[in-house]
Structure 1
Amino acid sequence: MKTKNSIREIRELRGFSQAWVAEALGTSQSQIDRLEKGQRRLTVEWLNKLADFFDTDIGTLLGNRSPTINQERQEDNTTPIHATIPHNSSVIFDILERIHLSVPTPYGIQKSNIINDVIGFIISNNSLSERWSDGDILYGDKSINYKDESAEALLRDYFRCPFLVFIGNTKCFCARLVESSGDSFSFRAEHPNGNWEKFSYRRDDIISMHRILEWEELLYGWRRVSFFQTFEDAVNKFNAK
């Protein structure tokens, strides 16, 4: 028996994908999908967990009140989400001036000092498919142009971080940074053929690079930092003991 609830509607209003929610709650995407469709019973534990995660109440989760009405959020506290047009043969797409919709500003952005420098847009391909899919809402931090950062700092602090990279006034792509040198950047993304491939751009051919905010920043306002080291470094450290 399927039970009607508002989980999917609330999630979409927050601008999160099922994959994001699943990772944040330590479960699978299929589990979230079943909960949204009413194919799995909502226990008290799940209701409390989802209510805390979405910053709402259990009554709204169960569909007793419209999720578009949230007394804790001001009506004008929204972020415009730009429409996009994909280039079918590559990871490139265009971000349009046209606003596709407006969504409640994620809590983590509300409490940050970059709220006026965030660009919301709909990704129109699967270039970051391990976390976001075609049609998901992404948020870019335009307060810093990482093109101007040193190669050493980028690899130390942002290796494998997702970036929104502009190569024209509206033309851009989303990919993970995997290499950086004095005059070029290398990225990794899923291409339309379904293969994950590495590709490079000269620094001079890039207009700007902006970090894509990940779920911790959207929910809580802080960024999880992952540290990477080469296998050789790990071996040397072990042998030095």
Structure 2
Amino acid sequence: MDTLFLNKKFERIGARLKIVDRPRQRRGTTAGLLTLDIGEDRRGEFFEIMPQRGADPEVDVLDVQPADRHLLLLVREDGAKNKYLCGHDERHWFVAGIPESAPVGTVRQAMEALQPVEVRSAVARKRVSGKSRNRRRNAAFIRQGEWFFLPEAHMAVEESLVLTNEPLSRGNGGKPHWAEFCYRTGGETVHVCGRHPNGVTESQYRKILSGNSHAKNWRWRTMRRNPGVYVRGRVRHPDHATITLQGWHRVVMNTENESRAMRNVAFLD
């Protein structure tokens, strides 16, 4: 790994890079040849690459866009080419794995690959073009972090089923986004707590309670897995500016969870 080369590339987007040989206390290692993370010290945030002990992974930078403060990182691992979008979004640096099904070689292509099919369809319908396609707000969507909000102009909901102050979580232990008003339809009912952030089914939940007398005190919350989710009003997150949605918007998440490369990312938004 060419440390000098990588440092120069990250400097071009205004970022610092540290290559370390052991994890910081708050993080462990990941499954691949290296771990990618965002760290913080007295000087602020920095990108962190931690190779596995004894490993010398091949790391390259395919594209750098200083004006956007983004770069596209390539890690060759066991014959695979794992790609990561590294950049700055509103207030903080981030790392996102790019789905392997997307043939990307530039920052712009990587950003578009992170848009799910619902978003790309909306962009096409609204004829959003050029750099506007990747802005946080355009005619097709509003984005906050990994979540896209697509306006549903004629959406009608049963008001008695509208939830307030509802979390939007991708279930990886990251900080949730909070929606002022939320309506969920379809999906599977699951029970969620700190020990089971991805949720357990009703039968699994009952088995856990019957097998552990303390489990009932784990602050369980009933949610729906993979439902249709619609929100309106304020959506807030500590790492992002609060947005206000006028009318109902469909919620869809970006595609980074479809990426095998994400197994190397310890960063949680």
More strand by share: 2
Task: Give TM-score scaled by structure 2 length.
Answer: 0.29
Structure showing greater relative contact order (alpha-carbon pairs closer than 8 Å, 6 or more residues apart):
2
